[in-house]
Structure formats: structure tokens, C-alpha cells
Structure 1
Amino acid sequence: MRRLTVVCGLVLCLSLALVGCASLDRAGDHRLHASYSRDFDLAYRVYLPEGYTRKDQRWPLILFLHGAGERGADLADLERTGLPKLIAEKKLDLPFVMVAPQCPADRWWDAPALATLLDHVVATYRIDPRRVYLTGLSMGGTGAWMLAAEYPDRFAAIAPICGRTLPLRAAPLKDMPVWVFHGDADNVVDIWNSENQVKRLREAGNTKVEFTVYPGVDHNAWDRTYADKRLYEWFLKHTCRDDRD
């Protein structure tokens, strides 16, 4: 997977306008002026798979949400951990487009801002909208739960890692394929968060929930999760059409 870096500022109010954005699906710096109710500046980095230059193919997309430690204004910080780190170190070669936004230093993940970004990425890159996947770690795991609950029809499957879950509702995710990961020695986000959400999903009738617990593992449940290609194989088993029929 080769890296394509795109810096994109998002200012959210009531409409969406694009300035100077020709050929946005290749390297370059671009600015997206979007709006809905409150300002939220969001930069992001895009990683493209080998073969993306072929014009006759649409690609699956992974939206990755980082943890609290990667918030800020330097996109290089994204590659300190998680999926961007593995890709930057050439330890993964995945058949996905991957987009990794960076949350500003003084903010938490904002679902409408992320949905606006997702709309833009799907429209700009050659993405198969039936194969959009969501994952995140720690604060990003919390963001993944939140975003999927707000926009369940946008994702074919989600994989939250060691995220907080309260007061999230389970009902919007009753048909969503979900694979949850947590270490049972986590002293930052107690494993109860994942255990409780898995329980509520199953009580809501979700039969597509998988839960992996790492014995003796602390908060870092993401290194082994993202290094395991079974996660990406599992993603590709699901499409929005198949899983919503």
C-alpha cells in the first residue's frame, strides 16, 4: 500500500463547497469548506492500495479513528500508532483505501463532521459505497461506536477496539456486523465497556457480533488486532447490501 497524503480543512456550517479541488484523488493539498451547525476543523491522510491507478475498479474503504494521544495539528502523529503506523512501516499491504482523520487537540470525535468527511471521500475517490468499514482505538473506539450508531446504514461492518460505550444505544446496531476487541487487563478503559455493549447488542437481536478478549493485555489491544489479517478478511465478507437485506 502506498501513501497519499491530503491535508483538508473542514469548517462545518450549513452547506458544502469545494475550492481548488481538481484531481483530488491523487497527491496534493486541498481544502474542503463544509458546514452544518458548528465549526470543526478536520485534517486527514489518505492511503491508497497498489493498483489504485486502474480506472475500472472501485475499492473498499476503511475509516480509521485514532486515540486521544494523536489529537493535534500534525498529521505525522497519525503514524505513531494503530493502522497508519503499520501501513507506514510497510507491515501491511491491504486492498483498501484507508482514510485517517486527525481530531483537533481540544476536541472529541464529532459524528456529523466525520459523516461529512466520509461523504467527500466516497465521492472523490473510487470507493465502493457498499464496502465501507469503520474501526478505531481507545478514543477512536468510542468514536467508532458513536459514528456507527448515528449512521448505521453507512457502514458494512465495524471493529471498535477498547472504546468506551456509555451512553450509546444498541438498537441502531442490531443488524450491524461488529467485531469488538479488548484486553482484560486494561486500566484505562475498563473491559466492562465492551462486555456491556456486546451484551446489549445480543439482547437487541444482533447475531453478527464477535468479541475477542486478550488475556493479560492492557490498554494496547490494537497492535495485535491490526497486525492480524483476519480482521481485513472479515471486513471483506460483509457488504451493506448483503447485511441490510
Structure 2
Amino acid sequence: MTVRAACRYLLHLPPGYDQGGRAAGKRWPLILFLHGAGERGNDLELLKRHGIPKIAEARPGLPFIAVSPQCPAEGWWASAPLIALLDEIERRHRVDKDRVYATGISMGGFGTWQLALDQPRRFAAIAPICGRGNPLLAHRIRHLPVWAFHGAKDRVVPLSASADMVRALRKLGARPRFTIYPDAGHDSWTRTYENPRLYAWLLKHARQPR
């Protein structure tokens, strides 16, 4: 489903969302997907090249409300509009606020780390792919389940960008998962999003009490 609002985004609703009866009051997990630099602009169809929008179109059974905003041309992911978007989605749809997840690729991986650092108690888990965070702020998310992914041969965003965040979290006693694809370059997302274990892992986690 294509939605045009202050922040343009694609919206996927899971099977059974529109059913009546007992299902009408059900709350659903939400996954926020942040694209990379190549999908910026004003054409939402570009988002279907990679990641969650591609998977949602190929596999309509994806069991999440999936929200995929589009960053303006020449723009960069900023937390404030993404927070406003999540607030809007939670008002309009039956979201389980204890099962909200964030993921993104490249520029979107940067955005995923930053959004979690800025909203450390909002998410149940995050899965940044070939992104970079600020290790000096890792203490903010040491409680948060993290599964990071990166290609060992990435020449766009070096492997150290993810490794530094994982290392910082581990020094704080956290136990982030870290998958390194030895033969992958920058595209470490295709096999990640095609792996059903990612979605099962996300759904295992609910937001921790404050």
C-alpha cells in the first residue's frame, strides 16, 4: 500500500489485519525500514528494489506492519521526522508498542543506529546492516537486542563501522549478534532479508520495562 503524508512512505499490512471478529482488536508488531542513499527522492517505487519493501511485495505473508519511509533527494536520515512518523503510525494503526523494530541498509543502517540511540526505550530490537553508529553513546542501548550485519569486503562502508559499535556494546556487557559475510561487498542486505531467521529473531523480543 502506498501512503502519501508529510513523510512519504510505503505501508504493508500483515495478513489478517483487516479481519473482523476477535482479530479486530489484535495488536501487530511493526518494523521500520530505512533505505540507502540510492533510493532517495520522490519515487516510492524505488524503495521496492531492496529490503523490507521488496520482501513484503514478494512475500505478502510478512507478519509485521511494515513502514518504509523515503528520504528526500540529497537528504539524510534524521531521527525527529522518523519519530513523528512512528507516532503517526501508532495512532492510525493497531500497533503493538512493545514489539516495534528498526532496520536499515547503508545510509539506513546509520539511521537505524542513530534512531535507537535517540529513542533507546522505543524499540524491542534493531537490525542495522552495513551502517555506522557512535560507540561513545553505546551505553544508551546496552539493554537493546541488536543483530548487526556487514560484508567483509565492503568498500563503501568499512566493516569497522559495525564492528566498532558491536565492540563497544560488548565492553558494556551487552551481547549483540554480529554476522559478517566473508565474501560480501556492500550488499550485505539481500541475503539478510531473505533469511527467515531474522524475522523469527525479531519477533522473539519485546520491549523491556523501563
| TM value normalised by structure 2 | 0.94
Partner secondary structure for residue 121 of structure 2: helix
Counterpart residue number, 1:21: none
CA distance in 1, matches of 2:183, 2:98: 37
Partner secondary structure for residue 132 of structure 1: strand
1:43 aligns with 2:8: yes
Counterpart residue number, 2:55: 86
- Read off the aligned partner of 1:45 and give its amino acid letter: L
CA distance in 1, matches of 2:134, 2:89: 29
Higher helix share: 2
Counterpart residue number, 1:221: 188
Structure with bigger gyration radius: 1
Deviation at 1:150, TM superposition (A): 0.2
1:91-128 CA distances to partner (integer Å, 9 max, x unpaired)?
A: 46211100000000021001011001001101110100
1:114-170 CA distances to partner (integer Å, 9 max, x unpaired)?
A: 001001101110100000000000000000000000001110000000012246620
1:52 aligns with 2:21: no
| TM value normalised by structure 1 | 0.81
CA distance in 1, matches of 2:73, 2:125: 28
Pick from 232, 235, 238: which aligns with 2:199? Answer: 232
Asked if the contact 2:34/2:104 (under 8 Å) is kept, the reply is yes
Structure 2: segments with no counterpart, 5+ residues:
none
Asked if the contact 1:175/1:244 (under 8 Å) is kept, the reply is no
Total equivalences in the alignment: 206
The percentage of aligned residue pairs carrying the same residue is 50
Asked if the contact 1:131/1:156 (under 8 Å) is kept, the reply is yes
Larger RCO (CA within 8 A; separation ≥ 6): 2
1:118 aligns with 2:83: no
Q: Aligned pair in 2 of structure 1 residues 166, 172: CA closer, same or farther (>3 Å)?
A: closer
Counterpart residue number, 1:6: 3
CA distance in 1, matches of 2:159, 2:65: 30
